[in-house]
Amino acid sequence: MPELPEVETTRRGLEPHVAGRRIVKLTVHEPRLRWPVPHDLPAKLAGQRITGTGRRAKYLLITLESGTLLVHLGMSGTLRVLAADTPRMAHDHYDLLLESGRTLRFNDPRRFGSLHYTSEDPQLHPLLARLAPEPFDREFDAEYLWRITRRRRASIKQVLMNSRLVVGVGNIYASEALFAAGIDPRRPAGSVSRARYQRLAGEVKRILAWAIERGGTTLRDFLNPDGAPGYFFRELFVYGREGEPCKVCGSPIRQQVIGQRSTFWCPSCQK
Ligand SMILES: [Zn+2]
């Protein structure tokens, strides 16, 4: 599933191909995405110039002269920049044809992705307005983590992955950040000290930034916009490494399902 780093990687890959370009037309091949693509959307987009791109959580924002497109990749979506005459494949659901002769093509086998448009401030859109802070926001720091976890018995791993508290920390990154911060993922969130939250907040930001620089994880169904797979997976410290030696201390990495998600940690390095 594309996570925050994959979405940001996609945004950075698209930006030079779309910024300043005019939209010739939107062609919707399959409107039945997670929410139906409005039938009047092509008329609203035709002729508009794209002024830039942005991101809020896992929503990719494509800023136009008179509004903003909100693109979600869902569970399996990809957005690629292709020559307009590239033959369509199965699960190609829409094409945003640009005056450059290229098309922004959305492919999504599971159709959990979505496409919305707003002419208002996108941050006020119902899908974005009530999202929790994300790790790169200034308010995501030790104080914030400390405050939201008082009297919370849920594990720290579950808190990091609770999208009502913080958005964009996926399973891989939660496991890796907890390893880097030396915190046992099973530890009740309310028992983590302020000092350790200080370290954790920094590690979450650092690992997500690093993942973005590396082009995201190499989940098989994710490709960079230029088609190259990421090569991040083998550089992870704990995720997917059950039974293998910890890269720091040599202890076998453990795995356990916490909150229905596979969780990996080193029993020696993380307390
Ligand atoms: Zn270790």
What average pLDDT does range 243-251 have in this prediction? 98
Task: Say which range, 41-50, 54-63, 90-99, 229-238, has the weakest mean pLDDT.
Answer: 229-238
Catalytic center residues: 2-3, 58, 261
Distance between Cα 265 and ligand 1 center (Å): 8
List, in order, residues 6 or more apart from 85 with CB less than 8 Å away. Answer: none
With 80 as the cut, is the pLDDT of residue 233 above it?
no
Point out which residues pair with 53 in neighbouring strands. 62
Measure Cα distances from 105 to 60, 89, 267 in Å: 14, 10, 45
**CA distance from start to end of the chain:** 29
At residue 228, the pLDDT reads 41
User: What is the whole-number distance in angstroms between the Cα of residue 237 and the centre of ligand 1?
Assistant: 9
Distance between Cα 178 and ligand 1 center (Å): 12
Residues above pLDDT 70, as percent of the chain: 94
List the shell of residues around ion ligand 1, using CB closer than 5 Å: 246, 248-249, 251, 266, 268-269
Compute the distance from residue 75 Cα to the ligand 1 centre, in Å. 32
Q: Residue 29: is its pLDDT beyond 50?
A: yes
- Report the pLDDT value the prediction gives residue 232, as an integer from 0 to 100: 67
Give me the pLDDT at residue 216, please: 56
User: Which tens digits make up the pLDDT trace of 105-161?
Assistant: 999 999 999 999 999 999 999 999 999 999 999 999 999 999 999 988 999 999 999
Residue 29, SS3 per DSSP: coil
